[in-house]
Amino acid sequence: MPRIPKKNTTINYQVLLSRFNEQFSERDLHSITSEEILTFLTHLNEKTKQTTKRLRYALLNAFFNLIKNTLDENISNPCNTLMLRKIFRNTRGIQWTIFEKESIDEIIFKTANLRNRLMLELMARGAMRIGEVLKIRPRDVDSRKIILRAPKSGRESEVVFIPQKVADRLKEYIRVNNIDMDQRIFPLTYGGAREVVKKAGKLAGISLKCHDLRRHAATYASRSGTPIEIVSKVILRHSNLPTTQRYLGKVSETEAVRWIENLYG
């Protein structure tokens, strides 16, 4: 069964080929140079993330390879040059700082404002992205579940599972503040939410970012013995395991010894 491309990949392909057609529709593909490809991608990728730039280069490279393999074996792929491969190469993965449970607990317990504490708990205990936290409404809260509508994955909906104590505090916050079913529970901007997280981190002397809390949730679950499939599919809601594995922090030698003792000691 052929693999169905992700929604973002499909959108990028559509944008890429539409713009490519606008610029090169009157040209013989054999005549397009690597310098022209670089200029084209540079203009196309203005104000985009590095991951998007690499993806679009990869898609255009695949487009020329498809032509070469199926239509014209004599065509030269202008994307396949050392210069372009270096510019758009994958950089080595970043090793993020993974904060221990004690540090995250301290940050949460020191946050006196209930709204801010709930936001932190949803990210640190429910592995929610900050954008997901800001979008939820009372109608999305169902017992210990939060229903995400139109999530990042492109699915119709996803389910976040949260601890009972967090669910109880969230429902009480909604009740006390008389928040209507279709109102946002946390009506902050992204900038405002990031500032909440930043200030909370300072309470424990930590430089904290929103996604650090989601990564903590995944790593803590994994190191507590949660199967990687549950961490990936249920906690992080990833479509594949390699994505999840990039989230998990490196295991220290001390921790490796502890796990071996737990298993065989």
In the chain, the percentage of residues whose pLDDT exceeds 70 is 86
What mean pLDDT is predicted for residues 213-241? Answer: 86
| pLDDT, tens digit, 9 for 90 and up, residues 189-214 | 999 999 999 999 998 899 999 999 99
Instruction: Determine phi and psi for 33, rounding to 5 degrees.
Output: -100, 165
Strand-pair partners of 56: none
Burial track 232-246 (b if 16+ CB lie within 10 A, e otherwise)? bebbbbbeeeeebee
Mean pLDDT of the chain: 86
Distance CA 170, CA 138 (A): 9
**C-alpha distances in Å from residue 198, one per residue of 106, 167, 210, 225:** 14, 24, 8, 30
Q: Which position has the token pair 């679950």? A: 221
- The pLDDT value given to residue 108: 95
Q: For 71-121, what is each residue's pLDDT tens digit? A: 888 898 999 888 888 888 765 555 567 888 899 999 999 999 999 999 999
Q: Which amino acid is at 136?
A: I
Angle at the Cα of 77 (from 72 to 79), degrees rounded to 5?
A: 155
pLDDT at 1: 41
